[in-house]
Amino acid sequence: MLKIKEIKKEKNTIYALSEKSPFYPDGKGGQLGDRGKIGNANVLMVELKNNIFFHKIDKEIEPGDYDFEIDIKRRKDIAQQHTAQHILSAAFEQIADLDTVGFRMAEEYTTIDLNTARLDEKLELEAEKLSNEIIQKCLPVEEIITTKNELGNYNLRKELSEKIQGDIRLIKIGDFDINPCGGFHVKNTGEIGLVKIISKEKVKGNLTRLYFLAGNRAIKDYNERIKITKTISNLMTSKIEDVPKRVEETINKMKEYKSKYEKLNEKFAELIARDLLNKAEIINEIKIIYLDTEDDYINYLPKFLPMEEVLYIAKKGNRFEISSKKINCKDLINKIKKAYPELKGGGGENRGSIIGNIDISEIKKYL
Ligand SMILES: [Zn+2]
């Protein structure tokens, strides 16, 4: 039975408060909290503030005694990730004398921060390999309750914080590692299944943060990665091992085609420039060349037009690109924007743009 002594509501959040609770609180020792049920309400989060448990729940209940249920599957997942963290941290310490100075468990992954700005990849793989060997050895994970005075009997990986009072709980993994900890752990390293580092980044200037997955999370991730590589391999119609080469070839081909395509656009612009000029509408001695097209050759046309005679306007979607050496583009754009304040755009003397909904016939009125 769980005794809820008070219900607290804050905006859309409901908390069931108790003095004692079987639910492990979120964030304690860097670990994830328990989930489950209090009566028929789902527990979404558990906070421990001033020795009071705040269970965030999804529906209102009355204070009183309740049956509760703890999500054991989740607890097992947390135990897998957390024990893997002990092993990985110990492996880095033993192989390279690297300390774990930070640890964070998230819903999707777990991180450790190692006190090095640059972590050699070979070393990373070596520590991961040793960790998996320890997992496969199926070493017992024991809990030892001791006191501060007796700590000298144990060769701890990490010095205990001075602040800690009373009984001390040590987690002993075979003869591989022993460290004080208050979280959930598996009973045997074999239960972890496997541990896999998935990425790393440099943080706080001088630390390396490793992201890793253990147990079912790692298996789920492996399945996901197989699905992704299969999809890419099907798309590339290539064997999985050939995919990197094929992707690189495809990207190089695309670059080559893009360059050829741009050359053809330029050539085409040169070919039609003369014709467009002959057919141009003339207003106040300004030859107006207007094109409304999504085609890319329009970018090259000004290069082949006598811009000191021409006002060139190219419309793509709701954007008008304007260029000329005959008139001042900036003045024209400002006049139009003054008449249509909802339009955006701007530019300089020889080129600029107008963005928004306006018809070309309206633009011509300002010449
Ligand atoms: Zn632990």
Element housing 91 (H / E): helix 72-96
The CA 184 to ligand 1 mean position distance, Å, reads 6
| 32 C-alpha to ligand 1 centroid (Å) | 12
| pLDDT on residue 165 | 74
Per-residue confidence (pLDDT) for residue 281, from 0 to 100: 95
Chain segment 234-249, per-residue pLDDT in tens: 999 999 999 999 999 9
What's the 180 CA to ligand 1 centre distance in angstroms?
Answer: 7
Task: Walk across the sheet containing 110-114 and list its strands.
Answer: 100-105, 110-114, 207-214, 195-203
Say if residue 166's pLDDT is above 90. Answer: no
97: left (phi over 0), alpha (psi -120 to 50) or beta: left
Distance separating alpha carbons of residues 361 and 357, to the nearest angstrom: 12
The CATH 3.10.310.30 domain(s) of the chain lie at 261-364
86 CA to centre of ligand 1 in angstroms: 6
How far is the centre of ligand 1, averaged over its atoms, from the C-alpha of 182 (Å)? 6
The residue among 130 and 159 whose pLDDT is bigger is: 130
Instruction: Give me ligand 1 centre to Cα 178, in Å.
Output: 10
Residue 141: pLDDT band (50, 70, 90) is very high
Instruction: Provide the pLDDT for residue 154.
Output: 86
* Best CATH choice for the domain 2-70 from the list 3.40.50.1820, 2.60.120.10, 2.40.30.130, 2.60.40.1180: 2.40.30.130
Alpha carbon of 128 to ligand 1 centroid (Å): 18
Q: Residue 163: is it exposed, middle or buried by C-beta count within 10 angstroms (0-12/13-18/19+)?
A: exposed
Report the alpha-carbon distance of residue 198 to residue 227 in Å, rounded. Answer: 17
CA dist 325 and 338 (Å) reads 22
Q: Which two tokens stand for residue 204?
A: 């706080």
pLDDT number for residue 159: 73
Range(s) of the chain covered by CATH 2.40.30.130: 2-70
Distances from the Cα of 215 to the Cα of 32, 76, 132, 150, angstroms: 16, 9, 11, 34
* Angle, CA 182 vertex, CA 171 and CA 44 arms, to 5°: 135
Q: Which two structure tokens, joined as six digits, stand for 174?
A: 């075979």
CA distance 367 to 348: 17
User: 3.40.640.10, 1.10.3720.10, 3.40.50.300, 3.30.980.10: which CATH number matches 75-224?
Assistant: 3.30.980.10
Phi, psi (rounded to 5 degrees) for 362: -70, -40
Report which of residues 40 and 30 the model is more confident about: 40
Residue 224, pLDDT above cutoff 90: yes
Residues in the chain: 367
| Per-residue pLDDT tens digits for 290-342 | 999 999 999 999 999 999 999 999 999 999 999 999 999 999 999 999 999 99
The domain 261-364 is placed in CATH, from the list 3.10.310.30, 3.65.10.10, 3.30.110.70, 3.40.50.2300, at 3.10.310.30
